[in-house]
Structure 1
Amino acid sequence: MLIGLDIGTSSVKGQMTAPGGECLSTYSAPCLTTHPAGGGAEQDPADWMRHVEAALARFAAHPRAAQVAAIGVTSQVNTHVFCDANARPLRPAITWQDTRAAVQAARLDAALTPQAKIAALGAPIPIDASHALSRMAWVAQLEPDLWQATAHVLLPKDHVIAGLTGEIASDPISAVGLVGTDLTYAGAILDLWPGASAVLPPLADPLDIVGRVTAGHPFAGTPVALGTMDAWAGMFGLGVAADRQAFYLSGTSDVLGLISSRGTGAAGIVTFPEWRGLRLHAGPTQSGGASLDWLSQVVGQEIDALARLAGDIADRGPLFLPHLQGERAPLWDSRSRGAFCGMTGATGPDDLVVAVMEGVAFSGRMALEAVETSGAQTVQRLRYGGGGARSDAWSRIRATALGRSLDRVASSDVGAVGATVMAGAASGAMGNLSDATAALVSLDRSFDPDPKEAPQIEERYAAFCELYRALGKVNDLINPVSDDG
């Protein structure tokens, strides 16, 4: 038996799986995100541990619990926990959605030319408001006493693993924008912020057994695989583990990715160092399911109810720019803001739902096109899954907006599946990654683009791109540059 845990943005999920892929037990519980003024987005690390303990306690009650061979963990990344020497959090975790370090990020990013970034990281990966160094600089400026007390800056999965095993470690894939092609910390990057190298955890391979669950927790003595970030785990949970395969991972944010050994990277795309023959080019957007969640709160309807309102994209329907907290790939513009455009007195909730779904899909298309440039190849089919993929209406809209076919996987908890895949490969219980993905991932159905809608979609996508450019002056007015942190 294997256990996979996913410390996500909206929830903590887990599953216990049999060798043939049968899911024996699951766990899911929501995580609260608070939003301090100025673009903040924080979570309480104690919530993650509470849910992890509850998940493991549930799995420990299963009749086959004694057969569990390993536990795998994945999580959101570019979410940072500032901890003391005993790995206890000193403040709430600063999540990847938090844009308060934009000023510090701009200074750090300007210190390196694109050529210097390529030399250090293998690709021109930007230093944005979610970068670890930006967060360190922001905390040091606004909370200097806390920065002085900081001994470790950990990702959520690494904080959870430390709580379960007592071991402090991270992996080079999750250390986005910090690691070179040799899978070690890039000195030219860490040198940008004094003290960075002292607080970042040592690196190990994602498929290493980093420790064993200590006494006092369910499954004491069970090996724990180090694992890696949610985009990679989700990729494995979608069944993608070979060159020239692409994926669309739909969650709180969307991630478009392509494994390609051909490309050398492109501006705005995160190109990871090659690991076990896999070189991933990824475009993480800022808002996917989060946009529909926002709309559900505004109109006072549950997300599932909203999704049922969605129909086809209207030729004259409103456009939506889903930059509610800026945008990541490929724009990396933390100051951009969301907008509806083209509404009339007849615009209703169903029109807004379709506009939000289409706008998120167009952000995904913008990221995918940049990913294809980065990977030097185009794709016609993508593996597809995640919580936002459960809606058939949204899936049809995405396929048509992208002009690509989407093959949806059966499980919506692809992060937990991917963590299970890594636990199986790390423990030797399921061979290598390809064997594990083949055993644990199955397809649900496919969605193909509607060729009749192509001309209309092209016009609307061009207008979507123009809407972003046109709103620059509006963003300058309502979101002026500040130097106060």
Structure 2
Amino acid sequence: MKKYILAHDLGTSGNKATLFSEDGKLVGSQVASYSTDYFNGTWAEQDAEDWWEAVCKTSRRLISTLGINPKDIAVVSFSGQMMGCLCVDRSGNPLRRAIIWADQRAKEQVSQIEEYISQKKFYKIVGHRNTPSYGIQKLMWIRDNEPEIYNQTYKSLNAKDYIVFRLTGNFYTDYSDGNSNGCFDLKNLKWSEEIIEYAGIDGDKLPELKPSTFVAGNVTSKAAELTGLAVGTPVVIGGGDGVTASVGAGSISPGKTYCCLGTSAWITTASEEPIFDEEMRTVTWAHVVPGLYAPNGTMQTAGGAFSWLKNEICQLETHQAELDRASPYDYMNAQIKQSSVGSNGVIFLPYLLGERAPRWDSDAKGAFIGLKSENNRKDLMRSVLEGVTMNLSIILDILRQQIDIEEMLVIGGGAKGGVWRQIMADVFNAKILVPNVLEEAGSMGAAVTGGVGIGLFKDFEVINKFIKINSIQTPNLNAVNAYQPVKVLFNKCYFALESVFKEM
């Protein structure tokens, strides 16, 4: 009898439930959306009950529409949004809405930690900077501003950890999501007593840490009734979405590297030790694969910059695409091809929403630099793709200081465009590999993690059965050489304007 794996990917906008067969084939998927409340400028919250309803709804739909016997589902596993804070009581009842990763309210709590520990020492323990994005700072904010909630809190959970509790009745988190709490000892894979003490948090409010492959329990009768799953189905805890995507993109051994080109973008590799950058420009996550780490750099606006270009500058292409029932990006790419390497001297800084890696500058702005009367729209369009790729190349160069990277798998919506992939090959001087599935890495990673967790798969190498490479784009040596001075100029442009951005 064929066995199936059910993977839930709890994102920011909704949950995607995906069913895979044990031989790596995608059987079907269902999506249920939920809302985010953005308010007070930098606050972002979600209702945990919405997560649970989305998991129940998508599970039932998958089972019913595909005609699957629930008993043939061998395991349920998870990929989930990270860096959150959901306070629950001893019975697992949410005490308030979840503060999600995008929330930046805890700036004062960052300062409280900085009174005791420097950014550099914090970075060397956690693999990340001390910022308002992480879970411990958000829990501190609740302690300082909602003490009645803090005092009732039994555990502080991330999204997937709450769903695991709803399915099994047990409280756990995995190393990758533990890492996203900002109080995790990265080298020793345990809570950092030092940071917890400096934060003034009760460490018992943090869940027990386990490997991502850990079987957290089995589906209870109550959860089975609501989800359509069979009672007793094993539940593997899985990992944070950014790290399960590493598995789904095949980054499961040292040097295996991928780039996700979505609205934001990141480059992640795999290593046997954390990669610490002296300027703290990159971060390191605990990997889903035991014994590995996932060094990473994430930029704010990648595909988002290309989308901005489409909406604000390429309205003619968008209109023609609507008439032809085609993609406006196809018309844009045709014109980008007609501009030369280096966009005829135009540099685009892609900092439309400030920047994380490698700048860590919330004041950074977007800019077209070097415009001349001879430049045209094609140059502007090409410069946007080049600017995003230049920024990613800085991240790649940091990782390359400690690990050899000669090829890179590319996923996400941006990977659909051959023009952009060739620019990446030339700027990165690396082979660009395009898999058969571009937007299922998180789900695939969660599925493989679940299969390994219950022994259905021997090890993570099975991901190679899931991934098929559809195409490879190799660097053009002339373009590689032409881009070298452009990369230097791109960096100079940012630093020349860094102080100006702060005044804008």
Quick check: 1:73–1:157 contact (8 Å CA) kept in 2?
A: yes
* Aligned match for 1:426, one of 440, 453, 456: 453
Quick check: 1:306–1:353 contact (8 Å CA) kept in 2?
A: no
* Aligned match for 1:78, one of 71, 74, 83: 83
Moved more, 203-212 or 25-34: 25-34
Moved more, 304-313 or 358-367: 304-313
Aligned: 1:265 with 2:270: no
Aligned: 1:332 with 2:366: no
Aligned: 1:195 with 2:209: no
* Structure 1, unpaired ranges of 5+: 479-485
* Aligned match for 2:425, one of 387, 399, 412: 399
Quick check: 1:211–1:225 contact (8 Å CA) kept in 2?
A: yes
Amino acid at match of 2:131: D
Shift of 1:236: 1.0
Distance 1:472 1:119 in 2: 26
Deviation per CA, 1:93-128: give whole Å up to 9, x if none.
43333334345435524632467447744x5x3112
Partner of 1:409: 435
Shift of 1:318: 4.3
Distance 2:118 2:455 in 1: 43
Amino acid at match of 2:399: V
* Aligned match for 2:248, one of 227, 237, 240: 237
Aligned: 1:277 with 2:281: no
Deviation per CA, 1:407-449: give whole Å up to 9, x if none.
1211121111111111111111122112x21222221211223
* Aligned match for 1:63, one of 50, 54, 67: 67
Distance 1:13 1:230 in 2: 12
Q: 1:205 to 1:450 in 2, by over 3 A?
A: same
Distance 1:71 1:161 in 2: 9
Deviation per CA, 1:244-280: give whole Å up to 9, x if none.
3222233343221222236652233223457623233
**Identity over aligned pairs, percent:** 25
Q: 1:361 to 1:88 in 2, by over 3 A?
A: farther
Aligned: 1:152 with 2:155: yes
Distance 2:433 2:48 in 1: 34
Deviation per CA, 1:29-56: give whole Å up to 9, x if none.
5554554343444444444333322321
Quick check: 1:246–1:258 contact (8 Å CA) kept in 2?
A: yes
Moved more, 200-209 or 53-62: 53-62
Give the secondary-structure state (helix, strand or coil) at the position aligned to 1:203: strand
Q: 1:426 to 1:331 in 2, by over 3 A?
A: same
Number of corresponding residues: 473
Quick check: 2:196–2:203 contact (8 Å CA) kept in 1?
A: yes
Shift of 1:193: 1.4
Shift of 1:462: 2.4
Shift of 1:333: 3.0
Matches within 5 A, 1:50-449: 50-61=53-64, 62-66=66-70, 67-109=72-114, 111-113=116-118, 116-117=121-122, 120-121=125-126, 123=127, 125-141=128-144, 143=146, 146-176=149-179, 177-180=182-185, 181-213=187-219, 214-215=223-224, 216-221=226-231, 222-261=233-272, 265-266=276-277, 267-272=280-285, 276-295=290-309, 298=312, 304-306=327-329, 308-310=331-333, 311-312=336-337, 315-316=343-344, 318-342=346-370, 353-373=381-401, 376-412=402-438, 413-434=440-461, 436-449=462-475
Deviation per CA, 1:146-196: give whole Å up to 9, x if none.
545544322222122223333221111222242222211011111121225
Shift of 1:241: 1.4
Identify which of structures 1 and 2 has the higher relative contact order when contacts are C-alpha pairs closer than 8 Å and 6+ apart: 1
Q: 1:13 to 1:179 in 2, by over 3 A?
A: same
TM-align CA RMSD: 3.1
Partner of 2:497: 471
Q: 1:103 to 1:330 in 2, by over 3 A?
A: farther
Q: 1:253 to 1:46 in 2, by over 3 A?
A: farther
Quick check: 1:256–1:371 contact (8 Å CA) kept in 2?
A: no
Structure ranking higher in strand proportion: 2
Deviation per CA, 1:353-385: give whole Å up to 9, x if none.
544333322222122222223xx1231101221
Give the secondary-structure state (helix, strand or coil) at the position aligned to 2:9: strand
Distance 2:132 2:74 in 1: 39
Partner of 1:483: none
Partner of 1:21: 24
Give 1 or 2 for the bigger CA radius of gyration.
2
Quick check: 2:342–2:486 contact (8 Å CA) kept in 1?
A: no
Deviation per CA, 1:216-245: give whole Å up to 9, x if none.
222142211101112221111112212232
Q: 1:405 to 1:119 in 2, by over 3 A?
A: closer
Give the secondary-structure state (helix, strand or coil) at the position aligned to 1:69: strand
Quick check: 2:343–2:383 contact (8 Å CA) kept in 1?
A: no
Quick check: 2:124–2:276 contact (8 Å CA) kept in 1?
A: no
Quick check: 2:433–2:473 contact (8 Å CA) kept in 1?
A: yes
* Aligned match for 2:10, one of 7, 10, 33: 7
Moved more, 30-39 or 195-204: 30-39
Amino acid at match of 1:237: G
Quick check: 1:250–1:384 contact (8 Å CA) kept in 2?
A: yes
Distance 1:107 1:355 in 2: 42
TM-score by length of 1: 0.86
Quick check: 2:216–2:237 contact (8 Å CA) kept in 1?
A: yes
Moved more, 233-242 or 380-389: 380-389
Moved more, 350-359 or 57-66: 350-359
